[in-house]
Each structure stands twice: as structure tokens, then as C-alpha cells.
Structure 1
Amino acid sequence: MEHLPAHLGLAFGLTTALTVYIFYRAAHSSRPMLAGLLLWLLGQGMVGRSGFYTVTNTLPPRLSLLLGPPLLLLVGLFATRRGRAFLDGLRLDVLTLLHLVRLPVELVLFGLFLHRAVPGLMTFEGRNWDILSGLSAPVVYYLVFRRQWLGTAGLLLWNILGLGLLLNIVINAMLSVPSPLQQFAFEQPNVGILYFPFVWLPGCVVPLVLVAHLVAIRQLWLKARTANPQPAGQIMVA
């Protein structure tokens, strides 16, 4: 978008790079995974620069071509044995730190709001409290992985709450995009994510944050089950 200051695009580009780097470290520096992410970013960046996603009167919305592939890949990872093995091997400590990126994301969204590219409901002044996850991530990391003051249950609860905050803003953001499905923010729709480099928010940053939460919840749930196995043949009575 021509009226946006260059520093917003640069800040978000750096935020996307940081997200990918942290996830790369969480995946034990997997080069194939990194190559796949970089190719996806390159391809979606080119599509975003072409203006493809700014056509908003189609059904299904063109934005589904940006959101659909990461979600289908995520389903495939959880549905297959090899995929689950990859997810279970991700580093839980690094995945916790990945949520730090939600802080600069929120600051960029606020900048986009000030330049009338996203609605106010997508900022921390509206319905978006996702900044709390970014602010609390280093504290939770320290309490869990450095001091061992917060256990499995505490980290699991934090991830569940963080997942709820993420889903809240994703739903509001998607229903604010100008399309036949729009429900909110008709006076100032969510147009910023239709342009490069902000297409990387729904196309890469949000999916990786979602993966970080879902993987953490799965790993912590499995750990809790292993620590407290149900005796064979025991019948639970309400």
C-alpha cells in the first residue's frame, strides 16, 4: 500500500524473519523445513505484490489460497505418524520463546490501524489482547525452563489461554476482511493483510504461532499422561 510508511513493512518483514528463525531452531535447525518455509514466503510474497489478494468479491475468497495450504499441512502433520513424530521432536522451550514475536506483530498492527489499513478491533485498543502472550512469553520461559518454578500444568494452561487469544483475533481479523463473508469493521475493513509483506501474517506468522501452541499442548498432555498412567482395567466412577 503506497500510503503506508516503509518502516512498517520493514518491521513486519523482520518480525517474519525472526518467527521463521525461532521455529527453525525449535526444529533442531532442520534445513529442509527452513527451505520449505522460505520457498512458501517467496511465492506468497510474489503473489501479494501482484495484487492478487486485493480482489475481494470472489467466492471462495482468494485469501483462502493463502490460509488453506498451511492449515492443510498442519492437519496432515497431526494425522500422520511421521508428522506427529516431527511435531513431538520440536523443542518446547524454543516454541515458548517463539510467542515473543506476538509483541512486534501487535505494534505493527497498531501502526497499520493508525494509517487506516486495519480496523481498531484488531489492535490492543480493541478486541485484540494477543499482546499479553508476547509480554508473558519470556516470563513463562524463565519460570518453566530456567527456574523450574512453573510445572507442566502451568505451562499447559498458559498455552491453552494463549491459543484462545490467538483464535479470538484470527476470527475477528478474517471476518473484517472485505469479502462476501465480512461481518465486522465495514467502516474500516482489514485491508492491510491483503498486501505485501503483510500477507505473511496470515500466511506464515499466524500458522507458526498456532503450531507452537498446538504442539506444546500435545507434548504437555502426553507428558502428563505418561507421568500419571491410568491403571489397566480401572473404571472411573463419577
Structure 2
Amino acid sequence: MMTNLPIYISVVFVLTTLATLLLFYHVIKNSNNESIRRKANAIAFGMIVWLALTAVLALNDVYNSNLDSFPPKIAMFGVWPAILTIVLLFATAKGRKFIDSLPLLNIIYLNTIRIPVELVLYWLFLNKTVPELMTFAGRNFDIFAGLSAPFVAYFGFGKARLSRKIILMWNFICLGLLINIVVNAVLSLPIPIQQFAFDQPNVALLDFPFIWLPVFIVPIVLFGHLVSIRQLLRKE
């Protein structure tokens, strides 16, 4: 755990992670399928176990040790299990049933979580634990997704003034923004494939609590966009 950072940065990020968990739980509880709504508590419990497991690994320096090893430990014990879960959901009939039952309105509101994430990244840059290119002062424009999400939700569903094609385009744009920061963050890690930020590599995201960004928050946001795109394309 990084002890040289102002405590408010870790506190805000932990609260952001908990907010992500609660917002996703709210998404499931608003499913149009009663059987899936009944599973919301079990799914939330599984996510809490995942957060606890990755926290223990981070606190024991699993992710930031032997950084020359390949594949990186953050991939094997953090990112890949989350991505595999998403793949299985889309690849199985039960998974697709779950996906198609989730409410688009709540999923779009979930993207507001990207606002505090971007603030935390900027504070981490000021404290020299991530490079500037990972912030809105550099190459990261992901905050646009968070700021625009309430407007898309309100005018797209509350007022029905945005067509599904516009909402679909918004999802593709925001997915592109997410991919952009993920690529830059990965290539800024102090691992063999590093390409950027050699003067100030991305070290914060290998430590607790910021490990929850790549292993939990980003997969949730990615899943939300993929679910939205699938539903919007099917309805079109």
C-alpha cells in the first residue's frame, strides 16, 4: 500500500469502488427478469469476494513484484479472470439471458463513476505515481463519458429525444475512450512491454487500493458498454 500519498486520494478511490459496486447491484436489481433479480445478492457477494481477493494480493505485493516476468501478474491474477467472465457471459445462453435483461438506463448512469476515477488519476499524477498521459491533462479523455452519461440517460430515455442510433454511437465513442486509456495505462506499466512514461511509469495501479481500477471498475464499465451495444443493435 502506498503510504506516501495524501489519505484523501485512497479514501475517494475506495468510495468510488464501492459506488461502482452499488450502482452495478442496482442495475441487476432492476433487471426485467425476476429470477435474475433474486440472484442480485449472490452476484454482489461474488464481486465483494473478488475485491477482497485482489486487495489481499495487492497488499502482499503480488502485482508489483517480479515485474520482468511475462505475462504480468496483474494480467494473470487480475485482468484476465474479469475478461474471461465477460466472455463467458456473452458466449453462454444463460449469460446472454442475464445480459439482455439489464436496463439500459441504469447502465448508462453507471458511467458517471468515471468522473471521480479521472479526478483520482489526476491526483495520482500530481503525486508522481502515474504519468500525465493517463489524465485529462494528457491523452485521457474518458471524463467525457462520465460527464455526458446523465444527459444521454435523461434525454435518451427520460425525454426520449435521442434516437437509439445516437445512443449507440455514444456507446461506441465512450468504448473507444475506454480502450484508449487502457492501452496507454498498460504501455506505461513498468513491465517488459512498456512503451511510454519511462520517467514516471504507471506504478499506482499495481498497488492497493488502486488495483481495483483495472481488475474491477474498468471491466464493469467495459461490460456495460458491450451490454448496451448488444441491446441497441438487437432492437434496431
TM-score, normalized by the shorter chain, greater than 0.5: yes
Report the TM-score, using the length of structure 2 for normalisation. 0.94
Alpha-carbon displacement from aligned partner over 1:34-69 (angstroms, at most 9, x marks no partner): 011000001101111111111111111111121010
Q: Which residue of 1 aligns with 2:11?
A: 10
Quote the Cα distance in structure 2 between the aligned partners of 1:208 and 1:19: 8
Query: Which of residues 61, 68, 74 is equivalent to 1:57?
Result: 68
Q: Which residue of 2 aligns with 1:35?
A: 45
Aligned to 2:130, which of 115, 118, 135?
118
Cα shift at 1:146: 1.0
Task: State the shift of 1:141 in Å.
Answer: 0.8
Q: Which amino acid aligns with 1:70?
A: A
Residue of structure 2 in register with 1:93 after alignment = 105
What is the root-mean-square deviation in Å for CA atoms of aligned residues? 0.7
- Tell me how far apart the structure 2 counterparts of residues 72 and 97 of structure 1 sit (CA, whole Å): 25
Could you tell me which residue of structure 1 aligns to residue 227 of structure 2? Answer: 215
CA distance in 2, matches of 1:155, 1:80: 26
Q: 1:135 Cα deviation (Å)?
A: 0.5
Q: How many residues align?
A: 224
Q: Is 2:85 the counterpart of 1:73?
A: yes
Listed one character per residue, the Cα deviations across residues 160-216 of structure 1 (whole Å, up to 9, x for unaligned) are 000000000000001100001111111100000011000000010000000010000
Task: Tell me how far apart the structure 1 counterparts of residues 92 and 193 of structure 2 sit (CA, whole Å).
Answer: 32
The percent of aligned pairs where both chains have the same amino acid is 46
DSSP-derived class of the 1:109 partner: helix
Q: Which residue does 1:180 correspond to in 2? A: 192
Q: Does 1:108 align with 2:120?
A: yes
Alignment-mate amino acid for residue 169 of structure 1: I
The AA in structure 2 aligned to 1:39 is V
Q: Report the alpha carbon displacement of residue 72 of structure 1 after superposing the two structures with TM.
A: 0.5
What TM-score comes out, normalization by structure 1 length? 0.93
Partner of 1:26: 27
Aligned counterparts of 2:200 and 2:48: Cα–Cα separation in 1: 32
Letter in 2 for 1:50: N
Which secondary structure state, in structure 1, belongs to the residue aligned with residue 73 of structure 2?
coil
Q: What is the aligned counterpart of 1:145 among 157, 166, 176? A: 157
User: Tell me, what secondary structure is at the counterpart of 1:178?
Assistant: coil
Matches within 5 A, 1:126-145: 126-145=138-157
d(CA) in 2 for partners of 1:50, 1:11: 22
Deviations, residues 120-172 of structure 1 (Å, cap 9, x unaligned): 00000100000000110111111011111012111101000000000000000
5+ residue gaps, structure 1, are 225-238
Q: Name the counterpart of 2:178.
A: 166
Equivalent residue letter for 1:47:
L
Structure 1 runs of 4+ aligned residues shifted over 4 Å read: none
1:230 counterpart residue number: none
Indicate the residue corresponding to 1:227 in structure 2. Answer: none
The CA deviation at 1:91 is 1.2
Alignment match of 1:45 (pick from 26, 40, 55): 55
